[in-house]
């Protein structure tokens, strides 16, 4: 049975460290798949003007496309070049809630995220989001420095 490890990407060096750690784990496990996830922070409860609501869907699709092209696809190529089975996705939502719900849905054995002062994902994640993820995740969470 294939073991699924979820890797939280941020497009920064912190995400690269999480990716490298996940790749090492996948190599040690053998029959493993890495699920690369980039979460675009988004709240359905933010107040928007009528004009912003009209453009919201298009903007979300553009954000997903850019994140896939700039962050997820290069990471997938790197892993596939190393012979590691991987797939990726980009989602909108609260970082910790999204990672946890995807881990449950995808039957991930572990979530691996990077920690650092580079900003991006870790800036959003390592504050209360990381605490929430670590304390409330349904699977083990590894925070890579």
Structure confidence by residue, pLDDT tens digits, 27-61: 999 999 999 999 998 766 666 777 777 788 888 89
What pLDDT was estimated at residue 125?
Answer: 52
pTM of the model: 0.86
What pLDDT was estimated at residue 64?
Answer: 95
CB atoms within 10 A of CB 95: 26
What pLDDT was estimated at residue 8?
Answer: 94
| Ranges of the chain with pLDDT below 70 | 43-47, 116-128, 130
What pLDDT was estimated at residue 117?
Answer: 53
What pLDDT was estimated at residue 24?
Answer: 98
What pLDDT was estimated at residue 111?
Answer: 97
**Angstrom distance (rounded) from CA 144 to CA 46:** 31
Kindly write down the DSSP assignment for every residue of 61-112, as one continuous string.
HHHHHHHIIIIIHHHHHHHHHTT-EEEEEEEEE-HHHHHHHHHHHTT-SEEE
The arrangement of secondary structure in 3-144, i.e. its CATH architecture, is 3-Layer(aba) Sandwich (3.40)
Closest CA to 95 of 54, 65, 123: 123
Q: Structural domain boundaries of the chain?
A: 3-144
Structure tokens given for 31: 């029959």
């Amino acid at each position: 049975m294939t073991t699924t490890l979820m890797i939280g990407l941020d497009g920064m060096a912190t995400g690269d460290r999480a990716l490298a750690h996940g790749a090492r784990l996948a190599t040690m496990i053998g029959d493993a798949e890495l699920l690369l996830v980039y979460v675009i922070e988004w709240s359905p409860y933010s107040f928007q003007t009528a004009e912003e609501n009209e453009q919201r869907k298009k903007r979300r699709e553009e954000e997903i496309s850019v994140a896939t092209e700039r962050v997820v696809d290069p990471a997938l190529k790197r892993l596939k070049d190393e012979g590691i089975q991987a797939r990726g996705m980009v989602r909108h939502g609260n970082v910790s809630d999204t990672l946890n719900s995807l881990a449950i849905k995808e039957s991930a054995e572990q979530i691996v995220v990077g920690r650092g002062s580079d900003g991006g994902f870790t800036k959003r994640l390592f504050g209360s989001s990381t605490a929430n993820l670590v304390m409330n995740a349904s699977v083990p969470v590894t925070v890579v420095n």
